[in-house]
Amino acid sequence: MSYNEKIKKVVRLIKESKKTLALTGAGISTESGIPDYRSPGTGLWEKHDPARTASLSALRKDPARFYNYNLDRWTAYSHAQPNAAHYALARLEKMGLLVGVITQNIDSLHVRAGATRVWEVHGHLRTCHCMECRESYGFDQLVYSIRNGTNPPRCVKCGGILRPDVVLFEDRMNEDFYQATQVISGCQLMLVVGSSLTVYPVAGLPGVAREIVIINRTPTPYDEEAAVVIHDSAGQVFRDIMVELGEPLP
């Protein structure tokens, strides 16, 4: 099947489906300048062991070191801009062709692109909270504290250490994940975008859908089961999908 035939088939599946959801991973944001985790040669986890740098035990053992490693990377996300794939998914939601987006990403790019139904199953970097009293703060408060010499950042109420509202290694899954497992019931079509589908439990979600479309630069364990597989740029693929739908992106 040619690339153009694949685009036409994806559009037909979207139009025919009565319940479509998207599942997105780090690969959708690489075109926004955010590196992914597992790409050969460039993936973050090839260079650093996440169990030592991005885990709950790493935060508890040496919180200052935890922030020294992670903070610059996290604050860089705030400068990234949504790309065509993010905007296309938001447009599909507004058109009534997409129920919403389940994302593994913590970069908030779906929200910034205008999507309103987003389940951020690994959390986000818009807020943080105290590990002792659970008081909530904007993530900017955490950044401001560290930049002004207070590392680790502390709660102004009780002095406890602040942590971002992301799911770290060794954390339990958050409420958005459990909501996502409910909302996918009856899913007829899942658009998997930029995910290697190797991180569980999220990688098990496509198995619930009747049909799967995979848009990812590298192969995934679900490729043989998918109705359509496109190993290409997510941004370009979604630009072409929107053109085929008669709703080209700006």
Active site amino acids: 122
Q: Measure the CA dihedral 32/33/38/39, to 10°.
A: 100
187 is an annotated ligand-binding site residue: no
155 is an annotated ligand-binding site residue: yes
* Encoded tokens for 238: 């979604």
Strand 123-130, strand 118-120: pairing: unpaired
Contact 121, 102 (CB under 8 A): yes
Rounded Cα–Cα distance for residues 117 and 195 (Å): 19
The angle at the Cα of 250, spanning 124 to 194, to the nearest 5 degrees, equals 40
| 192 Cβ neighbours under 8 A, 6+ residues apart | 22, 23, 24, 25, 206, 212, 213, 214, 215, 216, 220, 222, 226
Diameter over CA atoms, the chain? 61
| Residues placed in the known binding site | 130, 133, 155, 158
State the binding site for Zn(2+): 130, 133, 155, 158
